[in-house]
Amino acid sequence: MSHAASIEISNVTKTYPPRGDSAGWKALDRATFSVSPGEFVCILGPSGCGKSTLLNILSGLDDQYEGLAAIHGRSVGQGAVRRPSVGPRTAYVFQEPRLMPWRTVRANIEFALAASNFKPSEWRGRIDNCLALVELSQFSEFYPLQLSGGMQQRAAIARAFSIEPDVLLMDEPFSALDELTARRLRQQLLTIWEKFRSTVLFVTHNAFEATFLSDRILMMTKGPGGKFCDEVELSDLSRPRSYEDVRVFEKSRFVVERLVSHIGQIDVE
Ligand SMILES: Nc1ncnc2c1ncn2[C@@H]1O[C@H](COP(=O)(O)OP(=O)(O)OP(=O)(O)O)[C@@H](O)[C@H]1O
């Protein structure tokens, strides 16, 4: 069981610098929200509103921003020293699996465990557990290119959970998959999350996905200067949720209507 951590974003502004003849681009304008420990929150917004920019800031990949971005009270980036053995553990799942092709699935996960300072004596048990959760036990010695896209993404999810992250950042992890595979993975993700209870921040432009998965949806407006404009509470949708549950469909329609009322056009699914 992880020690879930809070997330705080306060007045975060990010401007990408000008390049060549192009002017600078304000991707985020005073973005502000917080996520409680163990909460599953989706950020829903149109393409280009700054969702990935925000996750890059939270993961420490981008430290050039104004304002406060903090995980469990510790600010990230902006000169903050990152020491994997100290403080909350953060894992990131991207749109593509980003596995190292020259390492087997097991060796990919071992790499993450080593980077997070887990003792080698714990590795086998952790890896076997996480691969079982994503139904990949038979494939631990396979190389990524011997697996389908969906299987690779499941391996990436197993890798993320293997370190028992306090915070899991997910950037449209299922958007490159066919809908049936994506459905299975969403269901597996919820099963694993209910076991680990990490804090999850999941970005998507798919309103149904956001409704199916999360406790709360934060909506963003289009850029430049993407802003958080509204939020929808989903605590009344009991868990476990199913694809047959008409309440999920109705709520997702309501979410689309709310988002459209802010951004003025439909370019979310
Ligand atoms: N390195 C960069 N340099 C300049 N501009 C950038 C850079 N990265 C992103 N941007 C711009 O910032 C804006 C926000 O990009 P970001 O990738 O965060 O959006 P997004 O909401 O994740 O989009 P999508 O849903 O399409 O992935 C976009 O207009 C993009 O062109």
* Any ligand 1 atom below 6 A from CB of 53: yes
pLDDT of residue 226: 77
Is there a contact between 58 and 77 (Cβ–Cβ < 8 Å)? no
pLDDT below 70 — which residues of the chain?
A: 1-2, 78-86, 265-269
pLDDT of residue 262: 85
Indicate the residue type of 249. Answer: F
pLDDT of residue 186: 92
pLDDT of residue 122: 94
pLDDT of residue 181: 85
What is the distance between the alpha carbons of residues 193 and 196, in angstroms, rounded to a whole number?
5
pLDDT of residue 21: 74
Specify which residues 231 forms β-bridges with.
Answer: 218
pTM: 0.91
User: Which domains, ranges and CATH numbers included, belong to the chain?
Assistant: 1-89+168-269 (3.40.50.300), 97-163 (no CATH)
Helix (H) or strand (E) holding 91: strand 90-93
Q: How many Å lie between the centroid of ligand 1 and the Cα of residue 53?
A: 6
Residue nearest to atom 30 of ligand 1 (CA): 48
Cα angle at 13 between 65 and 174, to 5 degrees?
85
Number of the ligand 1 atom closest to the C-alpha atom of 54: 18
Number of the ligand 1 atom closest to the C-alpha atom of 28: 14
pLDDT of residue 267: 52
Q: How many Å lie between the centroid of ligand 1 and the Cα of residue 6?
A: 25
pLDDT of residue 69: 95
pLDDT of residue 188: 87
ipTM of the shown complex: 0.96
**Residues with Cβ < 8 Å from 250, sequence gap 6 or more?**
none
pLDDT of residue 77: 74
* Any ligand 1 atom below 6 A from CB of 49: yes
Cα angle at 45 between 42 and 51, to 5 degrees?
70
Q: How many Å lie between the centroid of ligand 1 and the Cα of residue 255?
A: 23
